[in-house]
Chain A
Amino acid sequence: MSAAALDAMVPTPSRVVGRTREVAGSLTVELVPEGGAIPAFLPGQFNMLYAFGRGEVAISLSGDPADRSRIVHTVRPVGAVSTAIANLEVGGVIGVRGPYGSAWPMQEALGRDVVVVAGGLGLAPLRPAIYHLLRVREHYGRVIILAGMRRPDEILFRNELEGWRGRLDVEVHVTVDHADPGWHGNVGVVPALIPRASFDPARAIALVCGPEIMMRYAAGTLQDAGVSPDRIYVSMERNMKCAIGLCGHCQFGPTFVCKDGAVMRLDRIAGLLSVAEI
């Protein structure tokens, strides 16, 4: 292993300076590296977070890429490592290395309508792209945010979604799979929102993130609406270990999700999405 690769494997101790309890047990943590600058990142990239004594896990950056004062991640506790991270208190320290991976196609999307399709916690990796779109709003066509959540009380980043919906230059639709009596919004799956959105499929670019089943279905609906697969991007999730394309744990057909993804263009992986054993 080269010296550069070894460096890439060394985490930077980073202190928790803020934490926000989100829905369904998830947590947004704000980190500041000890004795080092905060690396720039592109929307869609991820870091490897190292809970000392437990292990490492790949987590997408969920903060504003223009905010260089802290590193922001939104974590859902599903295993030993993510649970340890989700239990961190302010002042706690974890290791951080990154950012790694590909990014949402913000350059390719310039001048185009942008359709953001998020499912559940999939909104977190898309949030940096949304921050970017709204910061340089004039450089893009229509901006549409479609978010599907499990229940009304599990709507991630609800305050921000409401704020974005309040803007006159963004179209936001939120739907839940299961409503309760107090919910007056949409009920149904998020792909069903796609035909309702006002965008030009011939010039739109779509960014999709969520559970893989939902992404497959959303990608199909986007194509039915006329968006070509080379303008549909999905964020894949696999078991990442080294994050630099060496170990092969995240191999996805001929690609490594850590190095060639996590954001991937649909036409390059469409054949693999429906293969169960990959």
Chain B
Amino acid sequence: MAGLENILLQHPFFRGLEAQLGVAVSGCGRNVRFEAGERLFREGEAANEFFLLREGRIALEVHSPGQPPAVLLTLGAGEIAGVSWLVAPYRWAFDGRALERVHALGIDARCLRAKCDADHDLGYELLKRFLALSIRRLHDTRLQHLDVYGQPGA
């Protein structure tokens, strides 16, 4: 478990996390690998795991009937794939597909949610980190939506 704990604490998302909280989170973790094209998660399915990406990139995609998937965002090493695990009804909003071989630390969300319910310090710490992540992605999406390079003079 010390190996997973070290991996977790070295991941940028969990940098500075108290050691005992790191033990709690990594206790729900496992090393996972996905080959290019494999799905990490699918829209509508239960969001019971999230991923600390260590190597490789994934795409967040959305499907329309008869259309190729639209890639909304790509994520790479040092980033987190999956926020839906934290908020009811715990269902994925998009597909997550590996663009190349991906190594990640998968965190069992049911395990972690139970620990957060039992230990509010842990829950608050995770909420702060995931809220900051969600706000950053919201800002990114707004900027992306602005289409700044399409404006005259851009």
Contact = CB atoms under 8 A, between A and B. Distances in A.
Interface in A214-233: 214, 217
B144 A188 contact: yes
A120 B150 CA distance: 9
B44 interface: no
A78 B153 contact: yes
B88 interface: no
A175 B78 CA distance: 17
Given A186-B57, A186-B74, A192 B140 contact: yes
Given A119-B149, A121-B154, A187 B72 contact: yes
A137 to B, nearest CB: 25
A59 B127 CA distance: 47
B70 to A, nearest CB: 7
A98 to B, nearest CB: 19
A135 B4 CA distance: 43
Contact of B59 (A120, A187, A214): A187
Given A189-B143, A196-B78, A217-B143, A179 B154 contact: no
A195 B144 contact: no
B147 A177 contact: yes
A3 B26 CA distance: 74
B30 interface: no
Interface in A163-199: 175, 177-179, 181, 183-189, 191-192, 195-196
B140 A188 contact: yes
A165 to B, nearest CB: 15
A185 to B, nearest CB: 8
B149 A187 contact: no
A83 B127 CA distance: 51
Nearest to B12: A195
Contacts of B73: 187-188
A150 interface: yes
A160 B59 CA distance: 26
A213 interface: yes
A248 interface: no
A210 B148 contact: yes
Contacts of A237: 153
Contacts of B152: 78-79
Interface of A: 76, 78-79, 119-122, 148-150, 154, 175, 177-179, 181, 183-189, 191-192, 195-196, 210-211, 213-214, 217, 237
27 contacts: A76-B154, A78-B153, A120-B154, A121-B149, A121-B154, A122-B154, A149-B149, A150-B150, A175-B74, A177-B147, A177-B148, A177-B149, A179-B70, A181-B68, A181-B69, A187-B72, A188-B140, A191-B143, A195-B79, A196-B78, A211-B148, A211-B154, A213-B143, A213-B146, A213-B148, A214-B148, A217-B143
